[in-house]
Amino acid sequence: MNLAFRGVVDDGRPRLPGSLHVNRRLDRWLRFDAQGFVTISPGKVELGQGILTALAQIGAEELDVALARIRVQPAATPDSPDEAVTSGSLSIQESGMALRHACADARRIFRSVVAQRSGVSLDDIVVRDGEFCAPDGRVLGSYWSMADAGLLAVEASPEAKPKPAAERRVAGTSAPRRDLPDKVFGAPRFVHDLRLPGMLHARLVRPSSRGAVLTALDQGALPGGATVLRDGNFVAVVAAEEHHAEQAAERVARRARWEERDTLPHESALEDWLRSAPRETSVVTERSAGTPQAAHRVEQRFLRPFLAHGSIGPSCAVARWDGATLEVWTHSQGIYNLRTDLAKTLRLPPENIVVHHAEGAGCYGHNGADDVALDAALVARAHPGTPIRLMWSRAEELGWSPFSPAMLVEIEAEADAQGTLLAWRHQVTSNGHSGRPGRGALPTLLSASMIADGFEVPLSINPPLAGGGGAQRNAVPPYRVPALHVGMHTLQAMPIRASALRGLGALVNVWAIESVMDDIAARAGEDPLAHRLRHLDDARARDVLARAARMAGWETRAKREGHGFGLAVSRYKGTGAWCAAVAEVECAERVFCRRLWLAADVGEPINPDGIANQVEGGAIQATSMCLLEAVRHDTRTITSDAWERYPILRFPEVPEVAVELIARPEAPPLGAGECSLGPTIAAIANAIADALGVRVRHWPFTPENIAKAT
Amino acid sequence: MPVGFVLNGAPVAPEIEAEAPLLAALRGPLGLSGPRFGCGTEQCGACAVLLDGAPAFACTLPVSAAAGRQVETVEGLGTPEAPHPLQAAFLDLQAGQCGYCLSGILMAAAALLRRVPQPSDAEIKAALAPHLCRCGSHNRIIRAVRRAADAMAPA
């Protein structure tokens, strides 16, 4: 999604790992100070996934310094390396491998300078917590004593050699999260907590429905002396006190008159809309083979509505305009990409915009973080010199953030009498899954389309599969099949703004593929585990599947009335982490997922506890999504703009979860954040089929939707 | 005339209207960051504080309702130097991801442990049912509450 997405190919320069290839200077990544600290400067950002802790471990390891000496600089333009977007489970691959190499190179450079200066042979010098020591124990120098020598003002050398796996002492341990103490003690940590001198609070008054045009705005007194800012259909209120801004927004909303029109497909007609909207059709992959007459043929379609990210904290940003320069504090996943679209929208040179990352609530993909940064900037531009903090309402977060687009997947599969696959056809229909800023000619930020001198909303795209794909992510089945066709219809109309949500198209594709695999196994009278194992050529996929099955006691599972077991496996994006899930569900007045067993293989585990936390978190979120969640809409408005109308899983219904990692310290590390969602959803669907004998084809898996399948 | 109440053991009288939400007083003139805005409609629990020891939604509760009463926030629970057993357990078990929900959850858990020193898992889940966590840290959080209960049990 990131480097691959930007098409980094052979550019003639020696290949450097991850983002180091395109940000080659060492001093962009790390610096030492005389006080005994190292500051590393990744371009990836903390989203609550614990990435900064893992990156600090990688740095400490390669530098041979104590973990406590590592400080991590939050990303900011223009000094941080441009690592595009923190997404796609790529931060360890892109940022981690860049830092591993950069820190190994820094260690190599310092060590060779110490050798030269001291006359002690390079090979005899060991590094102990940042000090370079001779065999007799003499300290010859340290990172700290040479901090100002300018040794890192060079491009990284391809010759640096990070430590072999057997020598690692810090990377591979479950170091505690660096950000968690602030969050447990209530210390200011989030962008929401930023308080600048003289700061004013702003709130928005959004249109009464999608595409509505403001026709009148009645004047009148507002609480706390709040003022109104209008620019086309963009309406904001500003006040010194936050609650006055909130009250003022409610009052102004009642004074605004909007001309509405129908712009949305109705939620009850999603499948018709997906089948009839203008589209661009492409072939994802294809191979033909002469196959014998099929004994079993399964034809299924799977429909999923739009989904919301559902961040617990509404999107928030702080902005300050001084007449020439705009400064923005944001929880965006891509500070440079955001800067690009702010520059386009505000018609400013990018150099006049400084974007600082500050943590927000978990976003799980492209939520309102970038949009609210523009909103704050628009208000700040009207208040030169005054910092503006703008926070969305809950209704905006659930009603106006980008959504994961509705999807339709149709599969036709053929097998012989034993259930061995012969042919597979997979067709996915969806909007684009990426509407992130900074990538196209037009800005993708929400309010760019609302201001008077604004921009059309550009269509979101499905990046090529080599860059991770979007709707077609994981559409290619991992199973051996002679004849295969995977096709994609990308819709060319986007009435509901669509963008990336954790897992993108993988959630629906894996659900569909694993459902059909179970159906074929059932037709052939074969156990779902055995059926998969003999169709998988990928040994690591077989390993996670066998492990999850063993954890769950798959072979000896007992059949209980109303209960069902299901399993599923997937390698995220076909290039990322492997994960298998077994689910136990109870089908009562509705479906409850009671237990989940997950096995994952992320290659080298940098922080095993952090990985387990991500794998389990993804599985619980996926359980919530598939059992409960759907964006609700009529032909004008998103109606699920409050938690009552967009319920998510609460504590009493959360399944028990067991996670095991298959550690492969010698293998390249892979991101862990998204690998468990697809398999979890598919395992739950298969468990429902096991319990009820019904194949669920409509999301969410509610009694009403399960009934549609019979 | 500002409304007076006791915040984390100290008397306060923030300069804010009596009908303003308590959350606005806590995050505004009182300068706290622990109680957070999540929904404004008592649906997510991110704003939860204790009012005379019982969980309350600070996003909808007017400041006037706190008059003369005890208000506790996560800042009053413990400090990095002297953490409450719940805070220590949440750190030990790394019970959180983004952490936005944790202030409210910690307060609800603190109220539970005062009322039920050795709660069952079902009681913990019921006490935390008003709180949303989107990251999926629920099971770690439940285990951390249990661990804190054990740590607080008389030997």
pLDDT tens figures, B21-31: 999 999 999 99
C-alpha A439/C-alpha A408 separation (Å) is 26
Q: What is the mean pLDDT of residues A70-96?
A: 95
pLDDT of residue A710: 64
Give B122's contacts in chain A (Cβ within 8 Å).
Answer: 652
Tell me which residue of A484, A356, A371 sits closest to A427, measured CA to CA. A484
Please judge whether B97 and A179 are an interchain contact, meaning their C-beta atoms are less than 8 angstroms apart.
no
C-alpha A348/C-alpha B103 separation (Å) is 40
Using alpha carbons, list the distances in angstroms from residue A110 to A118, A156, B133, B144: 12, 13, 46, 44
Give me the torsion for CA of A534, A540, A546, A552, rounded to 10°.
Answer: -140
Whole-number percent of chain A with pLDDT over 90: 97
Please judge whether A186 and B75 are an interchain contact, meaning their C-beta atoms are less than 8 angstroms apart.
yes
Using alpha carbons, list the distances in angstroms from residue A195 to A75, A76, A192, B27: 19, 18, 8, 10
Please judge whether B97 and A642 are an interchain contact, meaning their C-beta atoms are less than 8 angstroms apart.
no
Residue A709 has which token pair?
A: 């399948």
Whole-number percent of chain A with pLDDT over 70: 99
Does A642 reach chain B within 8 Å, measured CB to CB? yes
Give me the torsion for CA of A66, A67, A70, A72, rounded to 10°.
Answer: 170
Structural contact between residues A515 and A523, judged by C-beta atoms closer than 8 angstroms: no
pLDDT at A242 over 50: yes
From A613's Cα to the closest Cα of chain B, the distance in A is 7
Nearest to A180 among B40, B44, B99 (CB): B99
pLDDT at A6 over 50: no
Q: Which amino acid, one-letter code, is at A385? A: G
Nearest to B100 among A361, A620, A652 (CB): A361
C-alpha A303/C-alpha A301 separation (Å) is 7
* Mutation to test the B interface, candidates A183, A331, A674, most B Cβ within 10 Å: A183
Q: Could you tell me the domains of chain A? A: 18-171 (3.30.365.10), 191-260+309-400 (3.30.365.10), 274-306+403-433+469-707 (3.30.365.10)
Question: Which strand (E) or helix (H) includes residue A265?
Answer: none
Question: What dotted CATH number matches B77-152?
Answer: 1.10.150.120
Report residue A75 CA to chain centroid gap: 17
pLDDT of residue A459: 97
Q: What is the mean pLDDT of residues A355-362?
A: 98
Structural contact between residues A506 and A492, judged by C-beta atoms closer than 8 angstroms: no
Closest-CA residue of chain B to A184 = B87
Q: What is the mean pLDDT of residues A213-232?
A: 97
Tens digit of pLDDT for each residue in A449-478?
999 999 999 999 999 999 999 999 999 999
Structural contact between residues B84 and A185, judged by C-beta atoms closer than 8 angstroms: no
pLDDT of residue A8: 52
pLDDT of residue A174: 98
Please judge whether A177 and B94 are an interchain contact, meaning their C-beta atoms are less than 8 angstroms apart.
yes
pLDDT of residue B105: 98
Q: Provide the β-strand partners of residue A106.
A: none
Please judge whether B134 and A364 are an interchain contact, meaning their C-beta atoms are less than 8 angstroms apart.
yes
pLDDT of residue A291: 87
The B residues from 18 to 37 touching A (CB cutoff 8 Å) are: 20-21, 24, 27-28, 31-37
Structural contact between residues A597 and A529, judged by C-beta atoms closer than 8 angstroms: no
pLDDT of residue A4: 41
Tens digit of pLDDT for each residue in A319-331?
999 999 999 999 9
Compute φ and ψ for B34, nearest 5 degrees.
-60, -55
Tens digit of pLDDT for each residue in A651-684?
999 999 999 999 999 999 999 999 999 999 999 9
Tens digit of pLDDT for each residue in A629-659?
999 999 999 999 999 999 999 999 999 999 9
pLDDT at A1 over 50: no
Give A174's contacts in chain B (Cβ within 8 Å).
Answer: 94
Does B118 reach chain A within 8 Å, measured CB to CB? no
pLDDT of residue A577: 98
Q: Which amino acid, one-letter code, is at A513? A: I
> By CB neighbour count within 10 A (0-12 exposed, 13-18 middle, 19+ buried), where does A260 fall?
middle
Tell me which residue of A677, A655, A616 sits closest to B95, measured CA to CA. A616
pLDDT of residue A178: 97
Tens digit of pLDDT for each residue in A594-630?
999 999 999 999 999 999 999 999 999 999 999 999 9
Sequential pLDDT tens for chain B (155 residues): 899 999 999 999 999 999 999 999 999 999 999 999 999 999 999 999 999 999 999 999 999 999 999 999 999 999 999 999 999 999 999 999 999 999 999 999 999 999 999 999 999 999 999 999 999 999 999 999 999 999 999 87
Q: What is the mean pLDDT of residues A306-316?
A: 98
pLDDT at A318 over 50: yes
Q: What is the mean pLDDT of residues A257-285?
A: 98
Tens digit of pLDDT for each residue in A274-285?
999 999 999 999
* Mutation to test the A interface, candidates B98, B105, B123, B141, most A Cβ within 10 Å: B98
pLDDT of residue B26: 98
Domain ranges of chain B: 5-74, 77-152
Closest-CA residue of chain A to B96 = A180
pLDDT of residue A3: 45
Give A189's contacts in chain B (Cβ within 8 Å).
Answer: 33, 99
The B residues from 41 to 80 touching A (CB cutoff 8 Å) are: 41, 43-44, 46, 73-75, 78-80
Q: What is the mean pLDDT of residues A511-516?
A: 98
The A residues from 593 to 622 touching B (CB cutoff 8 Å) are: 609-610, 613-614, 616-621
The string of DSSP codes covering A633-678 is B-SS-B---STTTS----GGGPPEEEEEE---TTSPP---TTTTHH
Q: What is the ipTM of this complex?
A: 0.98
User: Confidence band (pLDDT; 50, 70, 90) for A5?
Assistant: very low
User: Confidence band (pLDDT; 50, 70, 90) for A7?
Assistant: very low
Query: Is the pTM of the predicted complex or chain greater than 0.90?
Result: yes
From B47's Cα to the closest Cα of chain A, the distance in A is 10
Structural contact between residues A437 and A500, judged by C-beta atoms closer than 8 angstroms: no
Look at residue A542 and give its three-state secondary structure.
helix
The architecture (CATH level 2) of B5-74 comes to Roll (3.10)
Tens digit of pLDDT for each residue in A141-191?
999 999 999 999 999 999 999 999 999 999 999 999 999 999 999 999 999
Q: Provide the β-strand partners of residue A259.
A: A213
